[in-house]
Amino acid sequence: MTQQDLTDYASDGGDSSTARYVPDTCIGFDVTADFAHFRKVGNNSAKPSYRVPPRTTVAGLLAGIMGMPRDSYYDLFSPSSSAVAVVPKELPHTYTMGITTVNTKADDAIQYLPQERSWHHGAEMLTPESYVKYDRQRDTYEMLVDPVYRVYAALADEDVHDELRERLEDSRYHYSPALGLSECIADIRNVDTHTVESATTDAVDSAAYDDSAVVPRPGITVNRERAPLYMEATDGGRRTTAFGNITYATGDDRLPVDASRTHAVGDHEVVLY
């Protein structure tokens, strides 16, 4: 099913000696939702969103579908063992929404009555203080409206790859897929398996996740948004190992790129990461 491209992969801040993984086949599917939000790094109170889901978000979406624990799947989605491309089929417009949030970390914010004091034997009941102890916070979110993406993904681990394909085809998700926020429940359709072939085009339909493949061209407007690219697990959780620039063309233009990095997959020409 797979092959290894030994061309060095140079990402912004990454390890230039890491080989890119290029599969023979990949899974393709459309994902959409009424709203989406991919919070940009470095912002707290006001929460702007990326227009295209970061690669780390796509990895989290697929890992959640397979029921993988948090921070357990970073090696599986490393650049040497996975390939991802995202085609924004319709770049969404945005809507600013105020959302009231509350801390839901169980150890800090939620308190329970002892079971012997519960009105129902054995049930855990929230104490009244749990509802008022921690202040609510109203944050401003930039929401994407009616986003539609075509995702192409492949994993070097054939067993996991096959399980992912079967789960997508059968709509058998361990965790409900969402586009960013858990409230943004996603709809996945048009699941298929595609052959990955080398292409020679100088423009692609997909976004790029770093600048190394992008070749600016007069008359084509390109947007860049800095985002995490790869992560690794640590004793305290996780850390970003490489950042990149999510780069995409606006309007009806395609993203101009180095032709040597392009592949034909399904109905699209893409750059794989």
Q: What is the pLDDT of residue 126?
A: 52
| pLDDT digits 0-9 by tens, 77-130 | 999 999 999 999 988 899 998 877 766 554 555 555 554 554 455 555 555 555
Among residues 33, 39, 29, 31, which one has the least CA distance to residue 185?
33
Q: Answer for the pair 44, 140: CB distance below 8 angstroms, yes or no.
A: no
The rounded radius of gyration (Å) of the Cα atoms in the chain is 21
Residue 2 has pLDDT above 60, yes or no: no
Residue 132 has pLDDT above 60, yes or no: no
Report the predicted TM-score, pTM, of the whole model to 2 decimal places.
0.82
State the span(s) of the chain assigned CATH 3.30.70.
Answer: 2-92+146-271
d(Cα 38, Cα 143) in Å, to the nearest integer? Answer: 8
| pLDDT digits 0-9 by tens, 32-54 | 999 999 999 877 667 899 999 99
d(Cα 272, Cα 168) in Å, to the nearest integer? Answer: 20
Which CATH number is 2-92+146-271's, of 3.40.50, 2.60.40, 2.20.200, 3.30.70? 3.30.70
Q: What is the pLDDT of residue 11?
A: 39
Q: What is the pLDDT of residue 70?
A: 87
Q: What is the pLDDT of residue 111?
A: 53
